[in-house]
Structure formats: C-alpha cells, structure tokens
Amino acid sequence: MKFGIVTFPGSNCDYDTYHAVVDTLGEEAVMLWHKDHDLQGSDVVVLPGGFSYGDYLRPGAIARFSPIMQEVVQHAERGGPVIGICNGFQIACEAGLLPGALLRNASLKFVCAPIHLRVESNDSLFTSRYERGQSIVLPIAHGDGRYSADDDTLDRLEGEGQVVFRFAPSTLEAQEAYNPNGSMRDIAGIVNGAGNVLGMMPHPERAVDALLGSADGLPLFESILQRVAA
Amino acid sequence: MSRFRVAVQVVPRRGLLDPQGKAVADALHTLGFGGVVAVHVGRHLMLDLDAADEETARRQTREMCERLLANPVTEDYEIAEVTPS
C-alpha cells in the first residue's frame, strides 16, 4: 500500500510519518510537495504535523490553498483515506474535509507531553485494531488544539460515532486533569461522515516503537492496512 | 480603478471561550482597571486594494473574509473602514 505524505513549507512531522510507514509498518511511502498536483498513485494521504506557513493568520488557513490540496480534496471525495495529524487536522478542518475548528489551547500554553486517550470507536477505518474503550498513550505537541464546533455539530459527531479519540483519565478512578487543551467534549480525534477522513491532535506516527515511549500509534496504521487492503 | 485602504477586524465569536481575551482582562484588573468587563483579542488587517469603486472593494473584501481572512466556524469579521488612498 502506498502512503502519500504531503510536505508543506513548515511541516515537521513528515519524516516521522515516513519512518512509521516505511521502517515500522513496512509499506511504501512517497513524499508529496505541496506545490505538486499529483498524488502519485497514493492509496492513503497523510497531512502531517508541523507549522505550515508559520501558522500565519490561523493554523492551516493558508496551507489549505496549497495546490496539492485540490487533489487531496478530490481523493477524499472519492472515498480515499486521508489522515490529518495535528497541523494536518487543522488543515483538514480549514479545507472543510472535517467540521469544526482548532483554537488556541485554553491554557494559552504549547503542550508537549504524552497523554491518555480513550478509543471511542473501533468501527472506523482507522481504529479497527484497537479495542473499544481502550486506553492508549500518544504524544501531543500543539498550541492550537482546542476542538470547537457548535452544539448541533458536536451532537451529530457523537450521535454518528464520529468521535474516535477522546482525552480521558488514565484510569476510571483517576482524578487528574486529563484534557490538555480544553477541547469541547474532550475531543481529540474525529472522522468525517463518510468515515474516510480522520483528524486528530495526538501523534500516532511518533508512537510506533515501545523503545521511544509508546507503540500505541501503530495499530492505527495497521487498521488502515487491514481495511484498505481487504 | 482606484486604490482603497481597507481595514478589517476579525474577532473570536462571542460566546466561545476566549482564553487570550480573559488573560488580558485579568491583567487589566490587576493594574486596577476594575471597570473592564470583557476583552476580546482579534486581528486587525490593513489591505491596499485596487478596485473599480468602493462598493466593489467592500464586496471583494467580504469574499476574502469568508474564504480566508476569518474562520466562519469561530470568528466574526467587520469591515471597519474603506478609504481612498
């Protein structure tokens, strides 16, 4: 399976994603320059993390108009899988691939830390290799991750099972603060209505090797392999 | 074709949590400005724009706001001023 990884000016997780796909997953990956108009036959497109265009205006606001985004949107409209991670999630929201927006963290601080997530649905293209309700640990590194949308949109996301990852305590009994950015309804990751576009603030591509702290991101990539190859 | 200077203000939508505005308000309270009820921090954009007339300049600016300058999900915009320059 071929993963296309888009490099925008200011992307900085593109090669982490390449490492996860090629070295850990053992699949093919191609780097796509944002000015290109060709996905080079990619089966899955990844919009990686970083600070595209220096986060000028709003994170993702300018990157969404990069030439390659036309092809990414068409790929998504055809049902092709798209993953937006961190800045990629912001770009996907700005591009209208996902509802809502990511605002400045409620703390006004950039937060860089491993955090606990609950897998809310294993019914998606991206999460079938997890258990529903499973607690996982992934790193986050963002200053603008506070997911926001109007109540109708939030109700619909929850009602349709589109909230796939939520910030959650490490255990049911734990009393610690667990939402690192103040996102509405503790949302950390969502899919679109058709289920082929995932946006998430945490970084699964930085958690594919237990030696580096966590391998909890690996099942996400394996889920895609399983479902798209099938 | 005339040149216009267009001033646009983009602010967080009322009702949404605005931690930056709240931090500024808290700081103003600390300075003794107890009368400050709320602060909203947004962006002020100045455009130099060539357009046939003022109405065209306004219409184009509205389109720019809706497509790029403001996020329709979370922000409101206002064209504060259009002046010949």
Residues A163-208 pLDDT 10s: 999 999 987 676 778 999 999 999 999 999 999 999 999 999 999 9
Q: Do A58 and B19 touch (CB under 8 A)?
A: no
Q: Do B73 and A108 touch (CB under 8 A)?
A: no
Interface contact B74, partner A, CB < 8 A? yes
- Mean pLDDT (whole number) for B36-57: 96
Would you list the DSSP string of B32-77? T-TT-------EEEEEEEEESSHHHHHHHHHHHIIIIIS-TTTEEE
Residue owning tokens 């071929």: A2
Q: Do A58 and B71 touch (CB under 8 A)?
A: yes
Burial tier of A157 (Cβ tally within 10 Å: 0-12, 13-18, 19+): buried
Asked whether residue A16 carries a pLDDT value surpassing 80, the answer given is yes
- Can you read off the two tokens belonging to residue A60? 């993702």
Indicate which CATH number applies to the domain containing B7: 3.30.1280.10
pLDDT, position A230: 59
Query: pLDDT grade, residue A228 (50/70/90)?
Result: confident
Structural domain boundaries in chain A: 2-229
Torsion, Cα of B60, A101, B11, B32 (10° steps)? -170
In tens, the pLDDT along B68-78 reads: 999 999 999 99
Optimal mutation site among B18, B46, B68, B73, interface A, most CBs of chain A within 10 A: B73
DSSP B14: T
Q: Where are the beta strands (DSSP E) in A130-207?
A: 135-142, 146-148, 163-167, 187-191, 197-200
Asked whether residue A229 carries a pLDDT value surpassing 80, the answer given is no
Q: Please, are residues A203 and A217 in contact by the beta-carbon 8 Å criterion? A: yes
- Mean pLDDT (whole number) for A69-93: 98
From chain B, pick out residues whose CB is under 8 angstroms from the CB of A57.
Answer: 43, 68-69
Q: Do B73 and A100 touch (CB under 8 A)?
A: yes
Searching chain B, which residue's CA lies closest to the CA of residue A147?
A: B74
The number of domains in chain B is 1
Q: Do A104 and B73 touch (CB under 8 A)?
A: no
% of chain B beyond a pLDDT of 90: 94
Q: Please, are residues A124 and A195 in contact by the beta-carbon 8 Å criterion? A: yes
Mean pLDDT of chain A: 96
Considering the domain A2-229 in this protein, what is its CATH number?
Answer: 3.40.50.880
Asked whether residue A212 carries a pLDDT value surpassing 90, the answer given is no
DSSP B4: E
Query: pLDDT grade, residue A85 (50/70/90)?
Result: very high
- Can you read off the two tokens belonging to residue A78? 């055809």
From chain B, pick out residues whose CB is under 8 angstroms from the CB of A105.
Answer: 19
Q: How many CB atoms lie within 10 A of CB A15?
A: 16
Would you list the DSSP string of A28-67? EEEEEETT----TT-SEEEE--B-GGGG-SSTTTTGGGST
pLDDT, position A67: 97
Residue-number span of the structural domain to which B65 is assigned: 2-31+38-84
Q: Do B20 and A106 touch (CB under 8 A)?
A: no
Asked whether residue B85 carries a pLDDT value surpassing 90, the answer given is no
pLDDT, position A143: 97
In tens, the pLDDT along B15-37 reads: 888 999 999 999 999 999 999 99
- Can you read off the two tokens belonging to residue A181? 């950015």
Cite the active site residues of A.
86, 203, 205
For residue A119, give the amino acid letter.
V
From chain B, pick out residues whose CB is under 8 angstroms from the CB of A108.
Answer: 19-20, 23
Interface contact B16, partner A, CB < 8 A? yes
